[in-house]
Structure 1
Amino acid sequence: MNLRFYLLIAFLLFSRYAFSQTQEDYDELMTVVYSHPVNSTEAQAAAKQMYELVEKEEVLQTIANYMILANIYKTQVVNEKQADHLMEKANQLIYGYNPSSKGSDEWMTKHLLEMYLSKDQAKAAAKYLDKHPEFESFNNLNMVAGALSLFNELTMAGKYYEKAMNTELGIDEYRSYSGYAYYLCKMGEYNLVEELIAKMKKLSEESPELWTMSYTLEYLNTQSFYSLLIGDYHSYIIDQKNLFDNYPDQSADECNFVQSSYHSVLATAYELIGNYDQALQEYYLADSSIRASNLCFNTKYPDSPIPSYVYPSYNIFLAQIGRQSDFTKPLDQLLRETNEYYDGLKTDESITELGRASIVGFLGGKDYHDIYQSYLKDLVTRKDFSVSTSPFSTYAFFCVRDRKLETAFDTYKDLFHVNQEWINDLIFTFGEKTFVTYYNSKLKDGYNNYHSFVRILIDSQNSMKNKALEQVYDNLLLTKSISFKSTQKRKKTFVQSNSPEIIARYNQWLAKKQLLIRAYQQHEEQEDIKVLDRKENKPDINLDELQAEVQQLENQLVQLTQNYEELLTISSPGWKEVRDRLQEGEAAIEVARFQWKDQRYYDDKAYYAAYIIRKDSQQPEVVYLPATAEDLDGKYYNLYRNTIQQRLDDSRSYDQYWKPIQERLIGIRKVYFSADGIYHLINLPTLKNGESNQYLLDEIQIQYVTSTANLLEDESTIKPKNSVLLGRPAYDTKGETTKPLSSDELQTRSFIGNFDEQSVIDLPGTEEEILAVKREMEKQRVQTRSYLGSEATEEVLYDLENPSILHIATHGYWNKTDNDASEKYRMFNAMINSGLLLAGVVNYYTADELPMSHDGVLTAYEAQNLALDGTDLVVLSACETGLGHFDAGEGVYGLQRAFRSAGATSIINSLWKVDDQATKDFMIAFYSHYLSGATKLHAFTAAQKSMQTKYNDPYYWGAFVLVGR
């Protein structure tokens, strides 16, 4: 039985729960005992009556009652023999054995105590349990399974966990699920973990009062552990704070171990989210407080096995951030103490030796190679998803730092092979949010670190650099927008499964997501008094529970589609396949933003790399942008955006973002460009070459693609068959128009402020645009449906069935989300904080009561569920529809991603506030070319150039970007 469980039971000794009148009598006698002095006549008499009552009434013979009585005979009515007897009774119930049965002593004194010390002893306990089925209680099965799982005997562990979970228990019997949850994490069954956590939460709310605190702490602890394992570190901090706040009264913890542990937890969490100053402070407090706690305990209990050695977390972190000069002890002493500590541990080597190797490696010692290589070989075969493949990238970092480059090269090669397998094992056992979180925190490091390794090879002219360049390009083809690819595949599988059960569950999932977005919008409005001056009658909305229900339905869908393996596999072409699709004079460019990693594990420098291949490339080549990523993302982007907004001349942006790349593109007339980071916000054709005094639009053709792997997809040459056009929605359907523009107002399609009649201005240009586009469509005999005014509603979009073209002209908006939000909510927030305004939005948000119905806002979260699998082009003729939350390597979470996820092949969206009249002219020009037979890219470029001659300034002609083929 683990120590935490005993602590919980001890805390609950004084809890009261009236099972019956008999239990009430028992509880009243307990009150008598504790209301009189220790060993008083009254206390002894009441204790005796309690004992007789328990012996007489079978309903009172529970674990809790025996433990309460045992504690009374140990502290209030001092009788050690009777206390031991009662504790033995409790143990009989806990471990399911009869003291008179053969083997009880061996089970209690040997196997229960030793099964956690080594793999062999865990197996021996399991074997003993098989021979003595009378001991197969929930607790015994659960503990044996936990011990086997600890030593990575996962197949055996699963057998005993399955037996334990099938054991029937009464509501008054406590059952611990945390070990099973950890086992499922090891196996990668994360969707089942979430269901188990929900079960624990329910038990904490519905179980007898006696167990409420136990289940609450186990639920919070498991939730916290799960957040840590999947890499949702922001949630981990919140979960740990909730756990600490709910922990029993710690006044009895004289040596303050709980507080010490709390500092360690926070230190780890702050490190993982990149808050290094706070992490350093917490590590210092953790080391200091743990040292004080150990000293306190060893003083009180001289024979205690607790070691005086303190894990050198503070010094390790100093080494990770490059501050070895601040070590609190000499390096030799730290390494010696580390080895002495691990030599003294009597546990499984596979657990302890990796810890030893990690500490030695981070501190700068050299004795880590053999341990890591043995451990990694084992990890490949057993696939411990809770550990993930991070030991590979850590070991590779040590090798690069110590310039063992050949070993690093081989380690990275193994890592990428394992990662590709693991990605396909995991990607469809998760919902999208959870997979992105896991991938970013557990699998992505190796790919990111490899960019630094390649640069080190190139700078040192190492002969492995060419092979490394091939590998890094292949990595980008696999991993860039990997979650986006999985979302598309998942949706395709749901829709094409032909399974009535899957389709019904899919529709249920979509409906629940709609309910969630309605609830979220109502919640946000009620938090904003500026929008609604209504403080009373707020509905009780639990967003966490609704989101959990959405996640549960997605998990169920994933489970139902596990047989569709051929559809649920992520693969990618090699760089040579992309090269072979290029024509003469074409190049493909993959941009990557990466954190620098060489001598310091945590470095504050990041860079951009542009990997280039041509038709005749023998291997990819690379350009490293000279400025740091911090400067390109910050001051240089601010310069670019300000000059665009202020209509000023700008030749410096070209030098920063394109000139170093252009120097490698001699003879290239067309580029397929896959962006990353800040390049999602830079419209390259608007950059002005100071030497030629021309915009990039006039010097080279650029086609934006999600990944250069898109070159293997055939460009659509089929003439559009039908289209759906929405424009000039009646934001206020009662008046059919909203606030008109005054002559001095900026005529843009942006949305600023709240959803009321004073903020949502009318856009007459959008109606002209829709009518003009419709005329162009009809000329080319494209079947067209147009919706204006009160007809331009959300419902129209939800009823779509794969039109060839979808064109929406209205207000768009993007509200920047909180970067401190947890991972699971950050993406959710990004997808609901970008959207398009449609008919009735003002009516909805100025109503006396907010109905649970469509609100006139199509968020990106909703748009990703539209039926657009056969749609060749979506045009978002609105402001800032290309903005959103940036995830390095994954793209932008916002409207562009949403419509691509819904199935659209190509998207036209905007990067800044767009002028109403100029946008109308641009769209008319685009369609006149496109519907006459030009490709989308040629039509788009022609429209830009025609607008350039009319308006000149890129503010008017450069806001829109075409992404896709």
Structure 2
Amino acid sequence: MQKLILVVFFCLIYSVVAFSQFGIGNSVLKKKAEQVLKNKLSEKAEERREGFDTLTFNYAIAFLDKTASFENKQKGEGLVRAAGFLIQDDKPKSDLDEARDVYEFGRLNYSLGNMFMAEASLNSAKYSYEQLNATSEPNYYKSIGILGLLYSDMGRFSKAEEFTTLAKEGWLDLQGDESIGYLAELNNYLVLQINMGNYLEAEKFTEELAEKLNRTGEENSLPFAIFLNNQAILNQYMGRSDRALELIQKCVSVAKEGLSENNGTYLQFLTNQAILEQENKQLEKAEETFNKALTLQASRAKLGKKSDPDYAHMQSNLAALYVEKKEYDKAEEALLTALDIYKSKFGENHLTTAETQSDLGNLYRFLEENEKAKKLLQDALYTKERKLTKTHPKVIQGQEDMALWYWQNKEIEPAKSYYKMVMSASLDFIKKYFPALSEAEKTKYWEQLKPRFFRYYNFALSEHRENPELLSELMRYRLATKGILLTSSTALQNAIFNEDDPELQKLYLQWIDQKRQLANAYALSKEEIEEQSFNVDSLERATNTSEKQLSAQSDAFSKAFENQNFDYQLIQENLEETDVLIEIIQYPLFDQSLTAKNGYAFIAMRKNQETPAVVVKTDGDLLEGRYYAYYNNVIKQKLDDQYSYDQFWKPMESIVSNSGKVFISPDGIYNQLNLNTIQKPDGKYVIQDVDIRYIGHPNDILFDNKERNQSGKLAFLIGDPAFNSETISQLPGTKKEIENISKFLSKEVTVQQYMQKNATESNLKKVASPKILHVASHGFFLEDQNLQDNLMGIQLQYIQQNPLLRSGILLTGASGDKASGSGQSFNQEDNGILTAYEAINLNLMNTEMVVLSACETGKGDVKAGEGVYGLQRAFIVAGAQSLVMSMWKVDDTATQKLMSSFYQNRLNSRDVAGSFRKAQLAMLKEYNHPYYWGGFMMYSR
């Protein structure tokens, strides 16, 4: 029947043309034909109209730089609407019919981009339904919903939120929480929250929407594809680029089943996929996907492509790829094309236009075409400030763009003014978003945000001489963000142990169990995972969800962040008169943009010092490459060191002269070498002239040492494991080491010893806040370039994802003889290999000191501003107040002597760090080369 009516419809059109050609256009025959068709169409339209009123909705679609909408039409709806307009000239209509026509007219104008006409019509339709007391009509809430989308497109977010919320709640009351109307508006509210920068709020709605779409069987529908796209964009904004790419790939796959390749919505999904491929550094794939989308768009639009916003959207995002590939002429051409289209289609004062102005302005700033850049950046910021809230991330980015422009053009005062707003807002972002994220998500979010701090460091360090207040601000931001990921992890651990909340503790135990299951799963081979039908990805997601729930419920991070000291002068006041503290900052150097080259700033603080002293080295790449390799070689080969002094210590020597204690808060490569071992030109070592104390954060100076007296009365000593291996050598010196230090410790605490068959991983995991934990065994750390198919049975794919799996300690039963996890079961927790990933879950919340008397326990992945991701990080997060670890493969006999001397010294002094230094100086007399005594470093609060 539908095909027949369509044939009649097109025949009528042909007949009308024919009658006009032969001069009989007003004939009786024509009128009769029209009437017959109208009757047929009216009959069919009325039959289906009510259903279409209920089933057709507009779904907001999130994009990385704009919002669009997709109208989910049901089969045959075009006929119904065509019929509606065709028969409306002479048939009597009810008031409800009139209201419906006004709605249809508004919907049509919205789809055509006629925003003001659409707004007037839809508001008129809304008013009509209200006057008719017909608010239970589906089109009433559809009018409101489209108004919400319209206001969102126009950047009027408060109005958008008002109308979208009204539509969402209306559909909930009218048809329930699984109705298509409710799900559509829930989706639209989700996108609105993304556009407003409320990412945590948006994430709550993704979970609800996913659950309902799955329950209603919509997994293969276009609305589900749209949801996947929106979820992907949210994940990207929150720093989860890899997850975002997975979601958009699934979105494109689902959409391809329901849309043709040249459909506008499909092309927009494809463009998002290209952007996310670029974000994941898959540049060749990204360019291939972009070109595919552009080709399809050109064939779709033909002559009209130059005025199509979708074409502009692709061009503006392709420009970002060209910039990354350093093809700047192509980038400029693409952005100019996009900007012309946006101005023509949306006008000068639209957010989409502003985003492209920002991109083009920053390109010109990079190319030093400063006047072009300024106008574009100013116009973009003006639009964003008018359309968005003051603290919206896009406004803050626009303000930083202006700060960089003014700095580049030597106008320091306005640059300072803009940066003050930018950095304050950035700290607020951290406080707002971090509490409800897992550590993995915090890491990715911080990776996105920290380049802003690096750019500010460059600005402040270049201008602080004429503007000393910049140095104070730099230190404020440094104190707030150094080790921020570590701060959030330890804050969470502290909260769980200290809060009297059974439900929270139950959730914590669930999380710990999930992490233990993961640790075991990582040690299974692929075959064993398949045999046990175990889903590692599912467990990872569940573990991640538990951690997020813990963070959100405990408020631990936000409280820790609020209580954290940001005032470097308070640190100065707590130093002794002769002490000096040096904060080392590794940062990428800025040259129009952040480069791949690193610099190092050494900022020295003393008591009563008005302004910190600063030394900057811009050859950080040499420090991290050539000179560190040289330092490592002379240590291992036991040679004299002729170059390390000039490179690593001399820059600081002038600012530590005439000092008592020198507190070093390291960063970058300074996490991987021991300054005490640097040989001076007179042949002496730095340790002989300078009392260096390593701390993890400048605020460690404020730590109350009296708290250490509250720790327990137990020393937990584990060593001399019985390895199940021909390739792992036994360590007879560790037995003597454990026995010797037991004699000293037994005078103040109860000592528990675990050696040989008792030196197991399971026994170590039972530790419960001892005063002292001492581990004497083999340690390991594997560099990226040395990764094999597996490490101690842990699969390569997991090792690459998590650096905490690359380092650990070998205990009884460890075997390096097998190349896989063969023979292990999923429930086996005692394989003799304690990774840093597992150590992070130890209960050390009241532990005064942890000593890792093993090789390379201080090694790990070094991240700027975050320290070492390895055993060092694991034991600090677990709660250790002081930590002794090794930087290279240490001598067994020398280590035993060093540890015995240290514990003997410690009996007579509360100065733990001083006792350790005294032991090293004593060893220096017996073993002149630092290979024997300098491998161990102590970090102490």
Q: Which interval holds the TM-score relative to the shorter structure?
A: 0.7 to 0.9
1:632 aligns with 2:623: yes
Aligned equivalents of 2:881 and 2:655: distance in 1? 30
Q: 2:715 aligns with which of 713, 718, 724?
A: 724
| Alignment map for 1:858-877 (pairs within 5 Å) | 858-877=834-853
Q: Per-residue displacement from partner, 1:308-365 (whole Å, max 9, x unpaired)? A: 76745566666688775x45878xx976983674254159634533432442342242
RCO greater where, 1 or 2, for CA within 8 Å and sep 6 or more?
1
1:694 match: secondary structure: coil
Q: 2:829 aligns with which of 850, 854, 860?
A: 854
| Alignment map for 1:510-525 (pairs within 5 Å) | 510-522=512-524
1:487 aligns with 2:489: yes
- CA change 1:496–1:122 in 2 (3 A) is farther
| Alignment map for 1:202-213 (pairs within 5 Å) | 207-208=216-217, 211-213=219-221
1:838 aligns with 2:828: no
- CA change 1:147–1:583 in 2 (3 A) is farther
Q: Residue 444 of structure 2 corresponds to which residue in structure 1? A: 437
Tell me the CA shift for residue 617 of structure 1: 2.3
- CA change 1:415–1:558 in 2 (3 A) is same
Q: Residue 451 of structure 1 corresponds to which residue in structure 2? A: 457
Aligned equivalents of 2:474 and 2:190: distance in 1? 36
8 Å CA contact retained: 1:257, 1:290: no
1:103 match: secondary structure: helix
Aligned equivalents of 2:308 and 2:516: distance in 1? 56
Aligned equivalents of 1:486 and 1:72: distance in 2? 52
Aligned equivalents of 1:883 and 1:139: distance in 2? 60
Q: 2:106 aligns with which of 110, 126, 130?
A: 110
Q: 2:600 aligns with which of 593, 604, 608?
A: 608
- CA change 1:304–1:445 in 2 (3 A) is closer
8 Å CA contact retained: 1:721, 1:783: no
Q: Per-residue displacement from partner, 1:723-754 (whole Å, max 9, x unpaired)? A: 33333364xxxxxx336xxxxxxxxxxxxxxx
Q: Residue 770 of structure 1 corresponds to which residue in structure 2? A: 738
Q: 1:622 aligns with which of 614, 619, 626?
A: 614
Q: Per-residue displacement from partner, 1:63-85 (whole Å, max 9, x unpaired)? A: 59xxxx998879xxxxx856856
Tell me the CA shift for residue 772 of structure 1: 0.9
8 Å CA contact retained: 1:361, 1:367: no
Q: 1:954 aligns with which of 930, 938, 941?
A: 930
Q: Residue 418 of structure 2 corresponds to which residue in structure 1? A: 411
Which structure carries more helix by proportion? 2
Equivalent residue letter for 1:668: S
Aligned equivalents of 1:947 and 1:906: distance in 2? 21
Tell me the CA shift for residue 369 of structure 1: 5.1
Equivalent residue letter for 2:300: F
Q: Per-residue displacement from partner, 1:134-188 (whole Å, max 9, x unpaired)? A: 2568877765555555523275367347627846255888935554443444566
Aligned equivalents of 1:497 and 1:638: distance in 2? 47
Q: Residue 226 of structure 1 corresponds to which residue in structure 2? A: 234
- CA change 1:604–1:787 in 2 (3 A) is closer
- CA change 1:665–1:347 in 2 (3 A) is same
| Alignment map for 1:334-733 (pairs within 5 Å) | 338=339, 341-342=342-343, 344-346=345-347, 349-363=350-364, 364=369, 365=372, 366-368=374-376, 370-371=378-379, 374=382, 381=389, 383-384=391-392, 387=394, 389-441=396-448, 443-457=449-463, 463-464=466-467, 466-522=468-524, 526-527=525-526, 538-562=531-555, 566=559, 569=562, 571-598=564-591, 600-627=592-619, 629-689=620-680, 691-716=681-706, 722-728=713-719, 730=721
8 Å CA contact retained: 1:918, 1:956: yes
Q: Residue 34 of structure 2 corresponds to which residue in structure 1? A: none
Aligned equivalents of 1:375 and 1:391: distance in 2? 10
8 Å CA contact retained: 2:636, 2:931: yes
Aligned equivalents of 2:805 and 2:350: distance in 1? 48
| Alignment map for 1:192-341 (pairs within 5 Å) | 196-197=205-206, 207-208=216-217, 211-214=219-222, 217-218=225-226, 220-245=228-253, 247-248=255-256, 252-253=260-261, 262=270, 265-266=273-274, 269-270=277-278, 272=279, 279=283, 292-293=295-296, 295-299=298-302, 305-306=308-309, 311=315, 326=329, 338=339, 341=342
Q: Per-residue displacement from partner, 1:45-73 (whole Å, max 9, x unpaired)? A: xxx9xx99x979x9999959xxxx99887
Tell me the CA shift for residue 110 of structure 1: 1.1
| Alignment map for 1:10-159 (pairs within 5 Å) | 63=55, 81=79, 84=82, 100=96, 103-110=99-106, 113-114=109-110, 131=130, 133-135=135-137, 145-149=148-152, 151=155, 152-153=157-158, 156=162, 159=165
* TM-score, normalised with respect to structure 2: 0.79
Aligned equivalents of 1:171 and 1:948: distance in 2? 77
- CA change 1:251–1:847 in 2 (3 A) is closer
The runs of 5 or more residues in structure 2 that have no matched partner are 12-39, 57-71, 87-93, 788-796
Tell me the CA shift for residue 402 of structure 1: 2.9
Aligned equivalents of 1:536 and 1:336: distance in 2? 52
The runs of 5 or more residues in structure 1 that have no matched partner are 1-28, 40-47, 75-79, 89-97, 528-533, 731-736, 740-756
Tell me the CA shift for residue 430 of structure 1: 1.5
8 Å CA contact retained: 2:335, 2:356: no
- CA change 1:904–1:536 in 2 (3 A) is closer
Q: 2:764 aligns with which of 797, 804, 820?
A: 797
8 Å CA contact retained: 1:880, 1:912: yes
Aligned equivalents of 2:530 and 2:354: distance in 1? 60
Q: Residue 882 of structure 2 corresponds to which residue in structure 1? A: 906
Aligned equivalents of 2:181 and 2:207: distance in 1? 19
8 Å CA contact retained: 2:571, 2:701: yes
Equivalent residue letter for 2:604: I
Moved more, 132-141 or 915-924: 132-141
2:596 match: secondary structure: coil
Q: How many residues align?
A: 854
Aligned equivalents of 2:840 and 2:804: distance in 1? 9
Tell me the CA shift for residue 569 of structure 1: 2.9
- CA change 1:148–1:697 in 2 (3 A) is farther
Q: Residue 868 of structure 2 corresponds to which residue in structure 1? A: 892
Aligned equivalents of 2:298 and 2:398: distance in 1? 33
Aligned equivalents of 2:359 and 2:778: distance in 1? 53
8 Å CA contact retained: 2:770, 2:844: yes
Aligned equivalents of 1:337 and 1:221: distance in 2? 23
Q: Residue 726 of structure 2 corresponds to which residue in structure 1? A: 758
1:428 match: secondary structure: helix
8 Å CA contact retained: 2:435, 2:558: no
Aligned equivalents of 2:440 and 2:317: distance in 1? 31
Aligned equivalents of 2:387 and 2:602: distance in 1? 33
Give RMSD over aligned pairs.
4.6
* TM-score, normalised with respect to structure 1: 0.77
Equivalent residue letter for 1:397: L
Tell me the CA shift for residue 478 of structure 1: 0.9
1:738 aligns with 2:735: no
8 Å CA contact retained: 1:676, 1:888: yes
8 Å CA contact retained: 2:161, 2:189: no
Aligned equivalents of 1:536 and 1:559: distance in 2? 32
Tell me the CA shift for residue 261 of structure 1: 6.9
Equivalent residue letter for 2:827: M
Tell me the CA shift for residue 204 of structure 1: 6.9
